[in-house]
Amino acid sequence: MTHEVRLLGTGNAFLPKQRLHSFMILDGIHIVDAPPTALTSLRIAGISPAEIETIFVTHLHGDHVFGLPFLLLERKYISDRERLKPLTVVGAKGVRERFQTLCQLAFPGSLDDALDSIEFIESDHGTTNDNWNWERFEVHHDDAVDPHGYRFEHSDGASLVHSGDSGPCDNLENAISRSQIAVVEMGFPQWVPSDHHHKPNDIQSLAERNPDTQLLITHTFIDSEKSSGEPILTNEFPIHPGNVHHLEDGDAWIHENSAWNPEN
Ligand SMILES: [Zn+2]
Ligand SMILES: [Zn+2]
């Protein structure tokens, strides 16, 4: 059995050049978060919103969840008009109320039935229909948005972590140390005086402490390598250890024969 982790977006909240908001899809049916550019990302990738079975919510910042009303609206009126496709939302306690508020603000009344048909799971671990065991853990970010990361382990042994938005913290490091790959955010340049996101030096030390885990960098502040002209902040990538991989929108890693490797 093969697995696929694809980053449909790799930018932080400020949308560096040629990047959409950080957005991961696992095996083509489970997404992590629903950023404002989620529908754009899915259109570019040719993935119908109706194919999505699960949304794993890391936290409630706008760059991670404000795309939800558009996904629900699209499913209701275009790709799942017959309402045949069940949707599960996995998130911390209170996620249902927050999503109701968000959808009521975006499209008053129009998404009530769509919300009613979602199965919300607020426990901190579970198993998907396709045998991914997942666990949610607290991370270090703004406590007002209930920040979490996820660890996934398939019954065939494949494992991965998604950091959500987080600065360095023990829970995240513990999950990474037990996993083959980790999708890790690098939201801040070195000079920002806050520890709510990873900075290049944090990624450096994290990679050195966990040499057996491949770190796939997303939610980055650095313009795409495909960009040109004056950078937004910078277009220069730090020199990192060999187990650090700065991803571009659309990049995928494939799990086959017990190992993850980049597509192609
Ligand atoms: Zn973010
Ligand atoms: Zn955040």
- Give residue 215 CA to ligand 2 midpoint distance, Å: 19
In whole angstroms, how far apart are CA 222 and each of 13, 187, 210, 257, 259? 12, 9, 23, 33, 28
Please name which ligand lies nearest the alpha carbon of 196. 2
Helix axes 200-209 and 170-177, enclosed angle (nearest 10):
50
C-alpha 42/C-alpha 24 separation (Å) is 11
Contacts 24+ apart (CB under 8 A), 120-127: 120/88, 120/89, 120/91, 120/95, 120/96, 121/88, 121/89, 121/90, 121/91, 122/90, 122/91, 122/92, 122/93, 122/94, 122/95, 122/96, 126/90
C-alpha triplet 134, 54, 213: angle, nearest 5°:
40
Give per-residue pLDDT as tens, 64-106. Answer: 999 999 999 999 999 999 999 999 999 999 999 999 999 999 9
Please write the tens of the pLDDT for every residue from 202-234. 999 999 999 999 999 999 999 999 999 999 999
Cα dihedral 42, 134, 247, 164 sign: positive
Question: Ligand 1 center to residue 29 CA distance, Å?
Answer: 22
Domains of the chain: 3-254 (3.60.15.10)
Among residues 27, 23, 16, the alpha carbon closest in space to that of 68 is found at 23
Q: Look-up: residue for tokens 């119908």?
A: 48
Distance of CA 83 to CAs 117, 144, 188, 258, Å?
A: 9, 34, 41, 37
Residue ranges in the chain modelled with pLDDT below 70: none
The edge-to-edge listing of strands for the beta sheet with 54-56 is 119-121, 88-90, 54-56, 30-32, 23-26, 3-9, 252-256, 259-262
pLDDT at 264: 81
| 194 Cα to the center of ligand 1, angstroms | 14
What is the C-alpha separation between 166 and 187, in angstroms, rounded?
A: 9
Specify the pLDDT at position 90: 98
* Spacing, Cα 6 to ligand 2 middle (Å): 20
Q: Please name which of 60, 5, 63, 65 lies closest in space to residue 30, comparing C-alpha atoms.
A: 5
Distance 3 CA to ligand 1 centre (A): 25
Its pTM stands at: 0.98
Residues 6+ apart with CB under 8 A from 66: 34, 35, 36, 102
